[in-house]
Chains A and B, each alone.
Chain A
Amino acid sequence: MTPWLMAGLLFTPLAWAVLTLFPAFRLGRVLTRLGILAQFLVAAGLWMTVAQDGGFYYPLGGWKAPLGIELRVDGLAVTFVVLTAVVACACGWHAGDYLSPETGRHRYFWPLFWFLWAGLNGVWLGADLFNLYVGLELISLCSVGLVALAGNVGALRAAIRYLLAALLGSLAYLLGVALIYGQFGSLSLAGIQALVASAESFPGAGVGLFIMILGLALKTALFPLHGWLPPAHGIAKSPVSALLSALVVKASFYIAARLWLALGEELGSFVLAQAVGVAGALAVILGSWLAFCQSRLKQVVAYSSVAQIGYLFLLFPLTFGVPDSVVQLAQQGIALQVISHALAKAAMFLAAGNLILSVGSNRVEALAGVSRFLPFSLFSFALAGVSLMGLPPSGGFTAKWLLLQASLASGQWWWLAVLLLGGLLSAAYVFRIYRASFVESRGQDQFYHPPRVLEAIPMMLALMSLCLGFVSEPVLAVMSLPFEEGG
């Protein structure tokens, strides 16, 4: 059973990518929807396997590391595989109806989408540093292609800027890999961790780790390296923005987090951890503020991603030099934050796309009076906003709760202020949108109603992020499988 699942996970997306390379948009849509279903079942099957039997290592095609590819399948990885399946499913389905079949270049959405999915799965499951690099590059190139799909000058400019940032980030990461490999002669994360723990001192490896984290921070758009993200996410087609914000930035963060959790304690330093945390805190506060100032709807959502990504980087200070119980709290909090943000942000971008379709403008003021028509999309937007604000019962709230607990227990009380202030600031920009929809000044009564499917998909995602809070316990139970055996 397991070999089939593993093969399905990586090869279905690749096969489908090739399959959808040539057909026209409509045929690609049919093929993709079939593939999405298959892929979703595979992901669910793998999740059940891991939930029952625990994590395992899987050598791809029977080849062992270092030359072969070894996959690490544990609770965290499989949770993200399922998350990817859910979000990609939603975005892919949405895109089929959202993108116009008449525009020729739109047919390239399908192969790019599938390559992206393959890259994401590769990153979640990758067990050695170099394969993670390949996965990252695959993701970056596909994302850039997807951004450029919008086709106009602005989109191309954003795509090029994104590409340059992503390439620089990957190279920094690769340089770090080179230094680490030069030091340890191993690429496997677990192998390096074992070597590091063997009490010798490795002076160069700390630099390697630092460069890798720097590169990954650039790819994750950590403040102040975030300049490329808002234009790219703001200008791309809505399903693309959703994919990028929900999943793509998480991939590079995931690698950074795994590196830090495995090597941070020995190779990192208190100053580095705090510095990353401060950058995250600044991202939370300034990102939210910038989101509040934007006049275009999707830019608001894009800057909100910058802010939400900031929370993730609180992982670094909260897991350095603290008791194991706090490390666990912080890990769980961050993982929940990743999941709830992925669901909420995907919902928000898809809903924003629908709202833009229905009022025919991308400006925030254009939403005046739209709430009178009770558009589903506005609701989805608001529900997703609840999760972003970290208000109960959403996943964002339980994540925030765990992080608050972790900051309190670690004695680093200053993050409490960041978490609470961040929540209030995100309320400011979410309610700005909401408020605009209540304005009754405009006489316009003509709103375009997007098709039902387009409205239902963001609603489902938003409800999932909202209800995540109630099922946090079981989700965390599966996710914590690797944590207990130490990675």
Chain B
Amino acid sequence: MASGALLPVFALMTSLLASLIIFTLPEDRGRVRTLVNIGAALIKLALVAVMIRGVAIGQEYLLAFDMLPGVEFVLRADALAMLFAGLSALLWLLTTIYAIGYLEASPNRSRFFGFFSLCVASTMGIALAGNLFTFFIFYEMLTLSTYPLVVHRGTPKALRAGRNYLIYTLTGGAVLLLGIVCLHGLVGDLRFQEGGHFAGAGPELRGALPWVFFLLVSGLGVKAALVPLHGWLPQAMVAPAPVSALLHAVAVVKAGAFGIVRVVFEVFGLESAQSMGLLSVLVVVASVTILYGSAMALYQVDLKRRLAFSTISQVSYIVLGLCLFGPVGAAGGLVHLVNQGIMKITLFFCAGNYAETLGAHRIDELDGAGKRMPGTSVAFTIAAFGMIGAPPLAGFITKWMLGIGALAEGMDWVVGVLILSSVLNAAYFLPILHRLWFRERTTPWPKEYRWGRLETSVWLFWPPLMTAVMTMAIGVFAAMPFSPLAWVILIVSREVAL
């Protein structure tokens, strides 16, 4: 099936080619660059949509060849891959639109958008990778292509953040590589497979596998920002807002979380990972991360740093969901992959808007911003309530599923973690909302720009509103076909025989 092998490659190639074209464009060809950017994003979205339809009816998209003797390069579109690919294709389009507006008239745009597209190509590769070896290729490519985005501003602070980012992620990559090589040495090349490979593993493997699991998860945990491997993330906030949005909502942290999902579901298998006692450790780590991230967020005065700690906390819901042993919890975790992405990207878009339009970076500079920028502030409010878990928004779905999953497996204390975390979420989001809507502005804005009729530039105005609408839609229409929840249930039914 020729088209079956080619579709994943095309999906990868669109952003790869876009990045090559953009790199060669001169700085002043802004219009062409915009065209290439948005065109590529649209094409990719269409390709992913085609593949999603195909996967739903059970079609197989697979490309595989030997890179080394006994080591395969595999691109494969399965249901899980499509969850992540769909999310990143959709959010890439919006972030591209946003970034065009955000970086208008700033220098080095060719460089920025080139690496930006490269970064999305890597994300696509991570989604479509069919074994750990291929996954690792794109995982490291992501590290390399995000570095120039983090240090984009070229200030000493940005360079320092970039250095720490590299130290964390490259070390994590080395540990992950070690884990993959060890696994390869034990059992040879393994494609990702629904249900995992080690259901009937003998005792000789059971001795070594926990160590391999430990290596893999700690390698991936760096990008997923599991405590205590999270140090790079708050620092990386110096990057421009679209980068923070993309890094936190889609690319980097999600790549780590998605990797953990792949390892637990499709390498080890939920059943055998549980029977080896691997998940009970992970669930504690995830819970600690959730609470630690939320608690630290309380103390941040910089808006983007507060959002960063919130990310640390929220991404661990995904890991937590996996570790609840049951299908409902797993579904809750997976659906949060999408939910958190959409909500967090909204929040970062809004934070970027405040910074770019009003010059407000700190939370205490936001007094009365709701009157000046109602659209942005409404989007922010919706996303923040979603994060807290208010029904019927996206975050509620996650927390509901996780809670039910935990109760079903008799892990009542997890519900406690969820409630405590929601309280903390409320504690760090509500004061911001209070400042936005209920405080009067007494001083002038730190650095205000005006864009005619709208409260901000058109490019900056619509993306957060659209993601905010999605946040609501995901929650309200959770039961519809092709909603993230429905898709996740499809995945889980394939992974774990219900």
B-binding residues in A (CB < 8 A): 332, 369, 371-372, 374, 379, 386, 391-393, 397-398, 401-402, 404-405, 408-409, 416, 420-421, 423-424, 427, 431, 434-435, 438-441, 469-470, 472-473, 476
Docked Cα-Cα span, A424 to B182, in Å, equals: 19
Residues of A within 8 A of B65 (CB): 473
**Residues from 160 to 204 in B contacting A, C-beta threshold 8 Å:** 162-163, 166, 170-171, 173-174, 177-178, 181-182, 184-185
* A386 and B144 contact, CB distance less than 8 A: yes
A-binding residues in B (CB < 8 A): 23, 65-69, 71, 73, 107-108, 110-111, 133, 136-138, 140-141, 143-144, 147-148, 151-155, 159, 162-163, 166, 170-171, 173-174, 177-178, 181-182, 184-185
Please give the distance in Å from B485's CB to the nearest CB on chain A: 34
Docked Cα-Cα span, A213 to B141, in Å, equals: 38
19 intermolecular pairs with C-beta atoms under 8 Å apart: A371-B108, A372-B108, A374-B111, A391-B173, A392-B136, A392-B141, A401-B68, A401-B71, A416-B181, A420-B174, A427-B170, A431-B147, A435-B162, A438-B151, A438-B162, A439-B154, A440-B154, A473-B67, A476-B69
Docked Cα-Cα span, A434 to B258, in Å, equals: 29
Docked Cα-Cα span, A393 to B139, in Å, equals: 11
- List 12 additional contacts besides A374-B110, A402-B68; criterion CB under 8 Å: A371-B111, A401-B68, A401-B71, A405-B185, A416-B181, A423-B174, A427-B166, A427-B170, A435-B163, A439-B159, A440-B154, A472-B68
Q: Which residue of A lies closest to B111 (CB)?
A: A374
Please give the distance in Å from A149's CB to the nearest CB on chain B: 35
Count of A-B residue pairs with CB < 8 Å: 90
* B140 and A398 contact, CB distance less than 8 A: no
Q: Which residue of A lies closest to B139 (CB)?
A: A392
Please give the distance in Å from B404's CB to the nearest CB on chain A: 40
Docked Cα-Cα span, A482 to B166, in Å, equals: 41
Residues of A within 8 A of B107 (CB): 372
* B181 and A405 contact, CB distance less than 8 A: yes
Residues of A within 8 A of B177 (CB): 401, 404, 420
Question: In this complex, which of B138, B144, B152 has the most chain A Cβ atoms within 10 angstroms of its Cβ?
Answer: B144
Residues of B within 8 A of A401 (CB): 68, 71, 133, 177, 181
* B170 and A424 contact, CB distance less than 8 A: yes
* A473 and B151 contact, CB distance less than 8 A: no
* B137 and A392 contact, CB distance less than 8 A: yes
Docked Cα-Cα span, A371 to B154, in Å, equals: 10
* A405 and B171 contact, CB distance less than 8 A: no
* B170 and A408 contact, CB distance less than 8 A: no
* A438 and B154 contact, CB distance less than 8 A: yes
* B171 and A424 contact, CB distance less than 8 A: yes
Residues of B within 8 A of A420 (CB): 174, 177-178
For the complex of A and B, list the 6 residue pairs with the smallest distance between their C-beta atoms, beginning with the closest. Answer: A440-B154, A392-B137, A420-B174, A404-B181, A408-B185, A473-B66
Docked Cα-Cα span, A189 to B312, in Å, equals: 61
Question: In this complex, which of B141, B151, B152 has the most chain A Cβ atoms within 10 angstroms of its Cβ?
Answer: B151
Q: Which of A374, A391, A404, A441 contacts B144 (CB 8 A)?
A: A391
Residues of B within 8 A of A440 (CB): 153-155
* B181 and A374 contact, CB distance less than 8 A: no
Residues of B within 8 A of A391 (CB): 140-141, 143-144, 173
Residues of A within 8 A of B166 (CB): 427, 431
Docked Cα-Cα span, A138 to B130, in Å, equals: 50
